[in-house]
Amino acid sequence: MTLLYFLTLFPLVPALGMLLARGDRARDAVGLVGSGIIMAVTVVVAVMFFGTGPQSFEVAPGTSHVLSIISSVIDVILCAVILYNAYKYRNALTTVLGIVQLVGSLAFAAMTLPAAEAVTATPLYLDYMSVIMVLAVGIVGSLICVYALGYMKDFQAHDEHEAALRGQTAPDRRPQFLALMFLFLSAMFVIVTSDNLEWLFCGWEITTVCSFLMIGYTRTPEAIKNAFTQIILNMLGGIAFLAGLMYLHVNGMPLTISGMIELSGAGTAQSALLVMPVILLSLAALTKAAQMPFHTWLLGAMVAPTPTSALLHSSTMVKAGVFLMVKLSPLYAIYPVTGFMVTSVGAITFLLAALMAISQSNAKRVLAYSTISNLGLISACLGVGAPEAVWAAIFLILFHTVAKSLLFLCVGTAEHHIGSRNIEDMDGMFSRMPHLTRLMMLGIMGMFVAPFGMLVSKWGALVAFAQTGNVLMIMVLAFGSAATFYFWGKWLAKLSGVDPTAQNVEVNVHKTEWVALNTIAALLILCCVAFPVISSGLVSPYLAMVFGRVPYVIGKDAMYLMVVIVAFIAVVLLTSFRVSNKPHVNVYLSGVGTDNYRHFRGSMGHEVKAEKRNWYSEDALGEKRIGPAGSVVCCSIILFALLCCAWIGPERLAMSAPSVLRGKYFEGSGVVGIFIGTVAFALLAPLVGGLIDGVDRKLSARMQGRVGPRLLQPFYDVAKLLRKAPASVNTMDDTYMACALIFTVVGGGIFVSGSNTLLCAFMVTLAAIFVVLASASTQSPFAQVGADRELLQVMSYEPAVLLMSVGLYLATDSFDSIAVTGQSAPIIVYSAPIFLALLAVLTIKLRKSPFDLSYSHHAHQEIVQGVATEMSGGTLAKMTLMHWCETVLFLMWVGMFFVWDNPVSWVVALVVMAATYFVEVLIDNTFARSTWRSCFKLGWGVALVFGLLNLMPILVDVFI
């Protein structure tokens, strides 16, 4: 317990040191030493925990009472700070809310402090979840403090320069800013280690006031406005928290989290009353987690210096909200109306915030919306109240903490050195800031690409929703993940471009910034590599302790495979590319190039620079169009939950939540089986795919009244490409294409070995990302348009592909492809609608007209050959081989629906596969190329309609 006291109180020492230190060297010393000690003690606490296990710590009654008095005094002081600033800036609403909270805090103190029962015997605890959060706050939070030491020097220098231009001086408020950061850490340690809700509330409100002061750091009108937006919305949550505490006390219920959970299982009239405080505490958590309709405060926080954003988004503030919901998650299954509120608000926020992120070009706003979206998914998982969903939520919290802190810090450093945070201005940053860009690409990969932690966590969430029969969340996750893929993908593509004319500008980055950035990047890789250990050593034991059973979401073999792939991707991204011996050629510009970077001589003889910008669709997906609607719906859901408590009565709301826990069989074929399958697929798929391509050319020629080439012509074409003299636009496109081919083959190996179809689908998505990187890295306008269209195509078909795996699970109780061979009937009987959705998007997957938008064998009139415009020789051969392997894999997906435990079924499957491909060739030769809008509407339309039709049996099981 001494270490917990030290961990909570010690950050106040460097905070005070920052206020007293004079000069940068003194502040650097205080910050480095203080952060180092916090990280060291954090690790010691974690190591000691593994030696002792979960513990509750007793505090002497007198000491506990004194600490409760101190927490009440702090609550009053915080209200005074709020009221002072409200008066100073003449903000009436903040004044009213501040008075309400002050009166409430005084009333609660008057009720509890004189009472003997207010003294909690064991107010502090340390369990598996607390250890995860202590490590996140202590390590990531401290590294952000280290980063701030260098960053704020540049920030202050910029302010002084701007002030000098206006003939003014810029005050130096860095000591207060850095002190607030360490105070933030202290408050978070209180939150994650307090079982006593009164102490937790004290830490809760400290984070609210600290963020208010940090957001308003620059004292500009915009900063002040956004700071008050934050304090108003979070005070609403604080008042809800306080109301929940008062309700608990008035009704004689315990003021501890453990006491609430213990009471919920009693089945008494008093336990039924818990539903109201659970709703109020959940409302406070949703507010702190920036869920709709409270999300605007987190967007406004982007005006603050970057360390503020990193701290709020990663290890503090918003994580306090989801942490509280993790602790309350067992209660959501007992009080379904609370779970409904949390899940619904989280689901809507996840989907709409992901869509709004597409419309943003400001990097920090993209990060803000992605945070809001991911917190929505975490909330939705927790609201389910099942251990499988909570497992996914905890990993989402962990990986979001590390990846998002890395991204915010990268954007902050980039802004200081390229002069902008606009994604469009990051064009060619791979050359201007090569190491920083690699770290930023790693962070983006960590947020959305398999097998990095965030997407694996979404995989776990999808498995959990399928197991518990949550139709709403299955659909929301399928479509929200597709939107997530697009906005991250286009940013990643922009970063990958190589500008041979750019100058390196990262030589002046402060050492403290590099220390923080490199360490957090290493932490991200470590978390991904240690994924199996974290699951078995921390997350699963916590869920076993809370729910009484260990969820089985992802098999260990799949985890180990993902560890290997993570290591491979990290090596590709972070190692320096060797100088290629290939002759360099300029990009194709439909004119005579005048240099090697987008300049060419046009038809009138003038020199022109070709430029390419991302697609944002502000008209369809803008904040003003989507945000208000989402806020209204979420407000209605929250009001509905509160009215249910008031009108229906708590005693009728306490029951077991309706859920369908289906059988779970995820055996797979093991790592050895996947390896054998991968080797077999690598050998056979190119042969079969090449033959299919030859048949395709023959059929197309006959449909057009021609004889056509020889059946084996595709093989001759690839052989010629391999013999062609090597030439490239840059040194990286070939490496990226090799990765795309490898991941396609691995995905095929996973499928043919009978293993997890979700992992197979994610490998295909990963291959698509590397195709986009290969294309975008060329900086060719035509290739980059093709890359954008490739992203749009993936976004269009992704929901249908994910729902295909769900359809397999509904029919077989397994995500493994081998499961179909043990069925008494083909799964088409149970999953016909999802099969139709797969057929509808197969034209997109096979790159056939009318949806061969990004690449085809024929030159595009408007974008030449799309993603393959700059590819030649061996690089183009790899692209062709990957397409052949994709074709074989996609047709096997079709055949899977017609295989059962009868050997004849394999013949049936082959016939269906052949017939399907013939229809695709017929479509390709019948329809003219369509627009991306038609592609998008088809993909999402069929996935939505047919997906809901196929998921109807779950609703029948749940409610009938």
What pLDDT is recorded for position 597? 63
- Element spanning 124, H or E: strand 124-126
What pLDDT is recorded for position 658? 44
As a whole number, mean pLDDT of residues 740-763 equals 92
For residue 387, give the nearest of 586, 42, 128 by alpha carbon.
Answer: 128
What pLDDT is recorded for position 752? 93
Does the structure show a pLDDT above 60 at 657? no
Does the structure show a pLDDT above 90 at 927? no
What pLDDT is recorded for position 118? 54
The residues pairing with 816 across neighbouring beta strands, listed in sequence order, are 756
- Which residues, at least 6 apart from 683, have a Cβ–Cβ distance to it below 8 Å? none
The residues pairing with 608 across neighbouring beta strands, listed in sequence order, are 600
What pLDDT is recorded for position 49? 87
What pLDDT is recorded for position 650? 64
Does the structure show a pLDDT above 70 at 593? no
What pLDDT is recorded for position 604? 65
As a whole number, mean pLDDT of residues 417-427 equals 86
Question: Which range is least confidently modeled, 361-375, 600-614, 800-814?
Answer: 600-614
Question: Which range is least confidently modeled, 556-560, 667-671, 790-794, 832-836?
Answer: 667-671
- Element spanning 57, H or E: strand 55-57
As a whole number, mean pLDDT of residues 18-25 equals 89
Question: Which range is least confidently modeled, 167-181, 335-349, 542-556?
Answer: 542-556
Burial 16-55 (b: 16+ CB within 10 A, else e): ebbeebeeeeebbebbbebbebbbebbeebbeebeeeeeb
What pLDDT is recorded for position 660? 45
The residue ranking higher by pLDDT, 931 or 526, is 526
- Which residues, at least 6 apart from 593, have a Cβ–Cβ distance to it below 8 Å? 586, 587, 599, 600, 601
Task: Report the alpha-carbon distance of residue 866 to residue 775 in Å, rounded.
Answer: 8
193 pLDDT tier (thresholds 50, 70, 90): very high
Does the structure show a pLDDT above 70 at 70? yes
Does the structure show a pLDDT above 80 at 156? yes
As a whole number, mean pLDDT of residues 777-787 equals 83
Does the structure show a pLDDT above 60 at 662? no
Cα angle vertex 791, ends 947, 502, to 5°? Answer: 160
Helices (H), 622-756: 623-643, 670-703, 713-723, 733-752
- In tens, the pLDDT along 244-270 reads 999 999 988 999 999 999 888 777 778
- Give percent of the chain with pLDDT exceeding 90: 46
Question: Which range is least confidently modeled, 140-149, 801-810, 883-892?
Answer: 801-810
955 pLDDT tier (thresholds 50, 70, 90): low
Task: Report the alpha-carbon distance of residue 133 to residue 137 in Å, rounded.
Answer: 6
| Chain position carrying tokens 């055996």 | 667
Does the structure show a pLDDT above 90 at 564? no
Task: Report the alpha-carbon distance of residue 743 to residue 885 in Å, rounded.
Answer: 10
161 pLDDT tier (thresholds 50, 70, 90): confident
668: left (phi over 0), alpha (psi -120 to 50) or beta: left
For residue 483, give the nearest of 372, 356, 367, 355 by alpha carbon.
Answer: 355
Q: Which three-class secondary structure state does DSSP give residue 756?
A: strand
- Could you tell me the CA-to-CA distances from 887 to 678, 842, 916 in Å, in that order? 16, 10, 12
What pLDDT is recorded for position 171? 86
Task: Report the alpha-carbon distance of residue 559 to residue 450 in Å, rounded.
Answer: 11
Task: Report the alpha-carbon distance of residue 771 to residue 787 in Å, rounded.
Answer: 8
What pLDDT is recorded for position 649? 67
Helices (H), 305-362: 306-313, 318-334, 336-358
145 pLDDT tier (thresholds 50, 70, 90): very high
What pLDDT is recorded for position 778? 83
Question: Which range is least confidently modeled, 45-49, 212-216, 599-603, 795-799?
Answer: 599-603
Does the structure show a pLDDT above 80 at 53? no
What pLDDT is recorded for position 280? 95
What pLDDT is recorded for position 634? 95
The residues pairing with 317 across neighbouring beta strands, listed in sequence order, are none
Does the structure show a pLDDT above 60 at 295? yes
Summary mean pLDDT of the chain: 86
What pLDDT is recorded for position 570? 84
Does the structure show a pLDDT above 60 at 960? no
What pLDDT is recorded for position 63? 85
What pLDDT is recorded for position 753? 92
**Is residue 327 a contact partner of residue 193, using CB atoms and an 8 Å limit?**
no
